[in-house]
Amino acid sequence: MSKKNTGKIGVLLVNLGTPDTPETPDVRKYLREFLLDKRVIDINPVGRFFLINGVIAPFRAPKSAVVYKQLWTERGSPLLYHGIDLKEKLQASLGDDYFVSFGMRYQKPSIKSALEELREQSVDRIIVFPLFPQYASASTGSAHDKIMEIIKDWWIIPSINFISNFCNDPGFIESFAELGRKHMQEEEYDHVMFSYHGLPERHILKGSDHGYCKLGSCCNSYNKRNQYCYRASCFETSRQLAAALGLREDQYSVAFQSRLGKDPWLQPYTDEVLKTFPEKGIKKVLAFSPAFVADCLETTIEVGEEFKEMFEHAGGEKWQLVESLNSNDTWVEAVKQIILKN
């Protein structure tokens, strides 16, 4: 081992993934890998295989490709280049005692390639930081699962620390609040919407602590029994953000987006809630997507454009998306502090 590598701490940043290009074949390839994950669609493996390969991927890929083309920039996929920017800024901030790598759960750069970078650096230990603020088996759990699957074959396995949840981390909350305040200084909004990616209700119940979860008032407080409940974490993030923004309880709503299939998903649904706002006199809405730390299809397109169109069609006047944290300096510092704590 070279002297300069001795004692280095490895940091592995992980995000969900993105197609290599917005063309239909690459989108289909991404969807297949993503949706075949047993933690994402938790049904019989044979049924899952035929559902994804025979129905969802063939029919959804062309439609998704159209949307990805709207999202794509000269630098490519925002989820990818924001992740690379975050990695580079974090590396500069942490200094030479750390080595930061970045991988995607699905597609490129892969988690395996990111882990190989750390192994080549002969790091003493690894801090795994999935960039999902609220724990879910389908996101954080899947990333941890994949990492353990890869590392189990290493002859030498260093100490590994997994960060599973940072839904109420002060730096994370302040990073989003800072962005929200800028918009609130420029415009007076009638209401704030916190929209989170949805999950099937069965995912929440499967992870419940001995039946604690009732998909209701059990999420009104955040405690040891529901600290890994995605729904409870979303409400906790919302309460903390609302407090940081000086909002009363009646000045914000929490809802869930991006549902798939016929099974019940976490409610209320964002697309249904926003349509009721104008009749209540809510004509100007500031919308956050606090489940995502980097802009992507679900933020820029779904919340930023599709929900805006729905809201205006229902009689709303202004729907403003708060951009995600991406690689802004406040967020980079927050990530650094989370790493140093771990």
Over the Cα atoms of the chain, what is R_g? 20
* Contact between residue 118 and residue 276 where contact means Cβ atoms under 8 Å apart: no
Residue 275's identity, in one-letter code, is: K
Q: How far is CA 192 from the centre of its chain?
A: 20
The reply to whether 183 sits in an annotated binding site is no
Q: Is 305 left (phi over 0), alpha (psi -120 to 50) or beta?
A: alpha
pLDDT at 261: 77
Structure tokens at 335: 């990530």
- pLDDT, averaged per 10 consecutive residues of the chain (342 residues), comes to 63 98 97 96 93 93 96 97 98 98 98 97 96 98 97 95 97 98 97 97 92 93 96 98 98 94 92 98 98 97 98 98 98 98 90
pLDDT at 94: 98
The reply to whether 197 sits in an annotated binding site is yes
Taking the C-alpha atoms of residue 141 and residue 101, their distance in angstroms, rounded to an integer, is: 19
pLDDT at 4: 45
Taking the C-alpha atoms of residue 303 and residue 279, their distance in angstroms, rounded to an integer, is: 20
Taking the C-alpha atoms of residue 27 and residue 31, their distance in angstroms, rounded to an integer, is: 6
Structure tokens at 16: 């969900």
pLDDT at 6: 57
Q: What is the pTM of this model?
A: 0.95
